[in-house]
Amino acid sequence: MLQKVVRSTIIDAPIERVWAVLRDFNSHDQWHAVVDQSRIEAGERSDQVGCVRNFTLKDGNRIREQLLTLDDRQYRSTYCIVEATVPLQRYVATVTLKAVTDGNRTFWHWESTFATPPGREQELREMVARDVYEAGFENLRRHLAHGGDLRTAGAAPLPVTLPLPTRRVRAVRYGGAEVLQPEEASCAPPGAGEVRIRQRAIGVNYIDVYMRRGWIPQLLAAGGAPGVEAAGAVIDVGSGVHHVAPGDRVAYLGHTPGAYCGVRSVPADWCVRLPAGVDDDTAAAMLLKGLTADYLLHDLGHVARGTRVLMHAAAGGVGLLVCAWARSLGAIVVGTVSSEEKARVAREYGCEHVIVTRDYRFADAVQGSVGGADVLIDGLGETARAENLKALARRGHWISLGQATGPLAALDPNVLLEKSISFSRPVVFDYVATRTALQERAQRLWTALERGDIRKPPIERIALDAAANAHARLESRATVGALILVA
């Protein structure tokens, strides 16, 4: 019985440009990653109906295919296998393009019928669908985004890139949420070592609030745009950039703020390419928060089976990730939250002992339930200082992550002596200071997500222009999970 495979996609380029590549029967070794080398036999032209392309695949297989139809009016090409080391029999394939007039894009339909040796139908159908057609879609997309089709010998260089208009939100002065105001702006082309990104989702973090309030003037000068992470697609890259390419989906994290905008150029070293299973919203909601959970638990807290972890704001973006990840490491997780609704969510994400408190009283409950915390992750700050000290176990580790209730006043070393307490005041950027560190931690995060060790937090989406509302919500303690801005 004949097998049939159909795959289709939309390519973000005019049909003439896509067809110029696909009508050339010998172009596939330039754009399709599975093809190693290809030549047209007998010195014929590559658009001569009847010509045979003879090519090898990267895996060593060899295939000869004959062009049966070339139709420039219908944008159609049909071809068949005449000889191959892969067991595809009577293989006939058709590529058809159609113009998407709405947006000047291209619909690409690729289908084939073939027979296989008995028992191998499914395996070969999947191979053709995934490794040839779906991979081909991705490869051609990248080829066009790189301008690979424009770079034939002697052709003019790529057009010089231009500034792009974008929306941007600035803190017009230090102050409350209302100082965040949207405006028209422009994004310069990427300089050397930079990439320009069309951002679709921007992570909102408490550090943005601190910057807006003027608490970290060395990072955000008055009048600047906050935001340290976002996800989207690469538009173009500057010289010397090799690990990301135009068209790639990426997320980034960097200590220089300015992410509250639609288009931004950032150092390529800040970027990680996103796996297919991680969408833009998830990446923006999880990158900083997930990498924070990663270094808190693995590097700073040395959290293992039996470690008693106390997490404040357990239903927040970082909180839910810490709860789930600590639980999967075998830790005993205690969390504080400000409402019953948040308590329910925190429990769902693996927080065993949830303490509901709106007045930052929790030490007795912690001591009562688990006998003190070995690792305390504190985003509260000054108001909770005494309770924190009281909640810690002997030789406990107090990690001061944030200061939602106010900046922590100077700490007398002697208060630590009482229970041999360690105190840390980390910031995520020092844990991803090199490209390798960032890539490794991000990979660990996506793997943990894929394996189910952590779950994506609930995500609340707010339009970029309404960034002031996002900050107001974050500061009102009304949110559960992660907040993102959508551009």
Partner 1 sequence: MVRIYVSSVIDAAADTVWSRIRDFNGLPLWHPGIADSRIENSEASDRVGCIRHFHTRDGGMIRERLLALSDYDYTQSYEILESPMGVDQYVATLKLTPVTDGDRCFAEWTAEFECAPGRERALTEQIGAGVFQGGFDALKRHFARR
- Residues of the shown chain interacting with partner 1 in the complex, contacts defined by CB under 8 A: 6-10, 98-103, 105, 107, 109, 134, 137, 461, 486
> How far apart are CB 44 and partner 1 at their closest, in Å?
33
User: Which CB, 357 or 469, lies closer to partner 1?
Assistant: 469
Radius of gyration of the chain (CA): 28
Cα angle 79-85-86, degrees, rounded to a multiple of 5: 70
User: Which CB, 8 or 69, lies closer to partner 1?
Assistant: 8
User: Which CB, 96 or 369, lies closer to partner 1?
Assistant: 96
Give the C-alpha separation, 171 to 156, whole Å.
43
Count of other CB atoms within 10 angstroms of residue 327: 18
> Phi and psi at residue 267, in whole multiples of 5°?
-60, 135
Give 155-199 as a DSSP string: PPPPPPP--EEEEEEEESSSSSGGGEEEEEEEEPPP-TTEEEEEE
- Tokens 């394996």 correspond to 451
> How far apart are CB 466 and partner 1 at their closest, in Å?
14
Give the C-alpha separation, 222 to 229, whole Å.
19
Count of other CB atoms within 10 angstroms of residue 450: 12
User: Which CB, 9 or 56, lies closer to partner 1?
Assistant: 9
> How far apart are CB 37 and partner 1 at their closest, in Å?
28
User: Which CB, 15 or 164, lies closer to partner 1?
Assistant: 15
> How far apart are CB 141 and partner 1 at their closest, in Å?
11
Give the C-alpha separation, 123 to 114, whole Å.
13
Minimal CA–CA distance to 169: which of 186, 150, 182, 156?
A: 182
List Cα–Cα distances, 355 to 55, 297, 310, 312, in angstroms.
66, 21, 10, 9
Minimal CA–CA distance to 354: which of 345, 308, 329?
A: 345
> How far apart are CB 13 and partner 1 at their closest, in Å?
14
User: Which CB, 7 or 146, lies closer to partner 1?
Assistant: 7
> How far apart are CB 245 and partner 1 at their closest, in Å?
19
> How far apart are CB 11 and partner 1 at their closest, in Å?
11
Instruction: Find the length of the chain.
Output: 487
CB-facing half-sphere around the CA of 272: CA atoms within 13 A = 32
Give the C-alpha separation, 482 to 473, whole Å.
11
> How far apart are CB 5 and partner 1 at their closest, in Å?
10
> How far apart are CB 8 and partner 1 at their closest, in Å?
5
User: Which CB, 276 or 417, lies closer to partner 1?
Assistant: 276
Q: Residue 279 has which token pair?
A: 């969408």
User: Which CB, 75 or 362, lies closer to partner 1?
Assistant: 75
Give the C-alpha separation, 455 to 469, whole Å.
26
User: Which CB, 103 or 165, lies closer to partner 1?
Assistant: 103
Give the C-alpha separation, 433 to 402, whole Å.
20
